[in-house]
Amino acid sequence: MTPLERAGLCTLHRLDPELAHGLSLKALRFGLVPLPGPVTSARLRTRLAGLDLPNPVGLAAGYDKNAEAVGALTRAGFGFVEVGAATPLPQPGNPKPRLFRLPEDRAVINRFGFNNDGAEAIAARLARADRRVPVGLNLGANKTSADRAADFARVLALAGPHVDFATVNVSSPNTERLRDLQGKAALSALLSGVMETRGALARPVPVFLKIAPDLAEAELADVAEVALASGIDAVIATNTTLARDGLKSRHAGEAGGLSGVPLFERSTRVLARLHHLTEGRIPLIGAGGIASAADAWAKIRAGASAVQLYSALVFQGLSLVSDIARGLDALAAREGFATLADAVGSGRGDWL
């Protein structure tokens, strides 16, 4: 981290978290943040669900909810970028305050509730964006929708022509009863509708599924079965958690989804278990608690073909992205792997 980046983070941390979030996006849009471009090498190049990534380190959904800084983010060192979540209609989300830093725990709690400008506005921005790496959209459902399952397909129909992949997000804890859509019958029906919509696009895109870290063993087995049967292209494991084990920060009791370092172990165990249940037949993307190259390497060895991060950027800045990518290259070389793909799942047993 450079002295300038450290000073910028210190300044942002003196502000309300949601205000700081917005200002960081503005800084990216106006070119005030140094951007190294995608980091890549022969070891780092990754093929994921038909997408060619310069490296497997992605940005998780939730940071650029409205696709306002896509061009800059694709030059920030990431191998791929996910924006959103987008819902069919604009919605304000939950009342403020709804974002909390937990510095002692290197964690964040949010209860945004899918606040966004709506799929049409977001699709228009994506259509105009200058992108250097694959860009995907996280699909969500409106809080007041009478048919939430249909909302995911509606967003895909609107934005599908302007993205490289789409993620079905049924795992946010901040929209009431949304996680109920992870049940076997409901999830199967929902994904059937999404895949039918995907098939009608002029350029069908890969569809990912993002799951919660709080699933019981039987629920995770159902998710694995439905994922394999539905024909989706990858699973993201995992979203934020409702658990609050061992937190020290004063905001530990706030409602919402917890992300950051305390999520790492829980999400990695779910990832490894899912890799075991699917026998490696579907690519997995590891998310949750990644704050170093060693963390990303552990996710890959647990079964992830790629990884995503977000919360660690709050505490370590955007330079962390390049640091992790270069660190992964060095770790793979040290362990004797010609490519990161060769390492996928090699340490799964450590987490089962």
CA distance 176 to 157: 24
Q: Are 166 and 159 in contact (CB under 8 A)?
A: yes
Position of tokens 């919402």?
A: 256
Strands 107-110 and 257-260: antiparallel
Active site residues: 172
The pLDDT tens digits for 9-37 are 999 999 999 999 999 999 999 999 999 98
Query: What's the residue count for the chain?
Result: 352
Q: Are 111 and 257 in contact (CB under 8 A)?
A: yes
pLDDT of amino acid 176: 62
The pair of structure tokens assigned to 185 is 């019958």
Please give the share of the chain, as a percent, with pLDDT higher than 90: 92
Q: Are 139 and 76 in contact (CB under 8 A)?
A: no
pLDDT of amino acid 41: 97
pLDDT of amino acid 1: 84
pLDDT of amino acid 93: 96
Instruction: Give 66-70 contacts, CB < 8 A, sequence gap 24+.
Output: 66/116, 66/117, 66/121, 66/122, 66/125, 67/122, 67/125, 67/126, 67/129, 67/137, 68/25, 68/29, 68/125, 69/25, 69/28, 69/29, 70/125, 70/126, 70/129, 70/130, 70/131, 70/135
**Contacting residues for 62 by C-beta, under 8 A, at least 6 apart:** 84, 85, 110, 112, 138, 310
CA distance 318 to 315: 9
Reference 328, options 63, 36, 57; nearest CA is 57
The pLDDT tens digits for 307-345 are 999 999 999 999 999 999 999 999 999 999 999 999 999
The pLDDT tens digits for 71-99 are 999 999 999 999 999 999 999 999 999 99
pLDDT of amino acid 319: 96
- Please list, residue by residue across 218-245, b when 16 or more beta carbons sit within 10 angstroms of its beta carbon and e when fewer do: ebbebbbebbeebebbbbbbbbbbeeee
Mean model confidence pLDDT for the chain: 95
CA distance 215 to 213: 6
Q: Are 314 and 99 in contact (CB under 8 A)?
A: no
The pLDDT tens digits for 138-179 are 999 999 999 988 999 999 999 999 999 999 988 777 666 666
CA distance 344 to 6: 34
